[in-house]
Structure 1
Amino acid sequence: MKVIGVTGLPGSGKSVVSRVAKNLKIPVVRMGDVIRNEAKKRNLTSGEMAVKLREEYGEFVVAERCVSTVKRLDKNRKKAKDKGSNSRPRIYMIEGIRSPYEVEIFEKNFRDFKVIAVHSTPKTRFKRVQKRNRADDSGKVSEFQRRDKRELKFGIGDVIATADYMVVNEGPAKKLKSVVRGILKNEMQNDSQS
């Protein structure tokens, strides 16, 4: 089994990377979904919940929950294969890595874990965040900057700096998709040879 993580600041293009993976039949586990689901249960914002979860359960909590999800998906894939159904790839993606602690957990659980970092300028990312208008996004520059600072406190800068792949996303989405498709196909090919 191969697991590839995706990191990047808000609005950098992580979800585009995930869509490319899904088109290649690679299951995607979103770390943000863990936080959003818990925030909904507790009636908190995603930002508040991201901090609170880590305070309550430690730096590894979101990563550990994602590890369990990936292992469950792979177990289900193996069961389906044993029953004669078409085997899906033994490659999975985890979107939204924010800290070196999370990378550490993934590396302990998944041999040959790789990270793709998506980078865009703050100006480009802010425009995207405004355009997508997700519930945890803000149209205010000050809120956007505050969110970046929170993410940087988690250690996302270190994750980006040490990523296996760095993809700059300043042009059309088509260009990003093409680059990411190449990376993922290469990783899939490498996995099938091992």
Structure 2
Amino acid sequence: MHSEHRAFGRAELTIRILAFAGLSGAGKSTAIAQLVAAGAGTNYYVGDFLTREIEARGLVRSPDTERVLRARLREEQGMAVFAERAVAEIATKAAGLFFLDAICCPEERDCYRASFGDALSVIAMEASFETRAERLAIRPKRPLHADQLAARDALEIDRFRIGEVIAEADHRFVNEGTLEELEQALRSLHARIGG
């Protein structure tokens, strides 16, 4: 376990970031929810920036709206736009362990790495398309149908290059099992690298 001291224009902070990466439905949010429920740290959902942008523009939230606006913001402001906003916001937080949901492209990972150095660990979660489609079809918040998931996968793999982030992650694990198996894997992960 290690942490990094960073000055963000005020007193030095000790911050540790476990940033999760993976395709939709791999279990990133579920994993983070379990870690937070266990008192391990604080959730930081990067997708909130997109939600606020949708609301500010008066758009109706849907998977298609999210996809189009996410791509537009990255085209207009650069691939690391969400990471840059997250870094600025995390810099205002007290010291602690943060679970970042999620890294979507190499530029975001590089932005976090430049800002947090060794205090950042990237955790890649993987699951088959079939498993992810089953999970997302019944997800209460922002469900996706298999065709929507396939389109999102194509965007994340081809345009955002999420595969590079997954392949180069500090830690990787496959999440095809039960919630209990996920909880055990997370306990082990947290014991090795957590706060």
- Which residue number corresponds to residue 120 of structure 1? 127
- TM norm structure 2: 0.83
- Which residue number corresponds to residue 87 of structure 2? 67
| Amino acid in the other structure paired with 2:180 | K
Distance 2:107 2:86 in 1: 13
- TM norm structure 1: 0.83
Gaps of 5+ in 2: 1-14
- Which residue number corresponds to residue 182 of structure 1? 188
| Amino acid in the other structure paired with 1:59 | M
1:8-47 aligned at under 5 Å gives the runs: 8-23=22-37, 24-42=39-57, 43=59, 45-47=65-67
Count of aligned pairs: 173
CA contact under 8 A between 1:2 and 1:111: conserved in structure 2? no
CA RMSD, 1 decimal: 1.5
| Amino acid in the other structure paired with 1:27 | T
| Amino acid in the other structure paired with 1:58 | G
Does the residue aligned with 2:173 lie in a helix, a strand or coil? strand
Higher strand share: 2
Higher helix share: 1
Query: After superposition, what is the alpha-carbon deviation per residue over 1:81-137, rounded to whole angstroms, capped at 9, x for unaligned?
Result: xxxxxxxxx2212111110000100001102111111100000000000010433x4
Gaps of 5+ in 1: 78-89
1:21-170 aligned at under 5 Å gives the runs: 21-23=35-37, 24-42=39-57, 43=59, 45-74=65-94, 77=95, 90-112=96-118, 113-135=120-142, 137-139=143-145, 141-152=146-157, 153-170=159-176
Does the residue aligned with 2:24 lie in a helix, a strand or coil? coil
Distance 2:84 2:43 in 1: 15
Question: Which of structure 1's runs of 4+ aligned residues deviate more than 6 A?
Answer: none
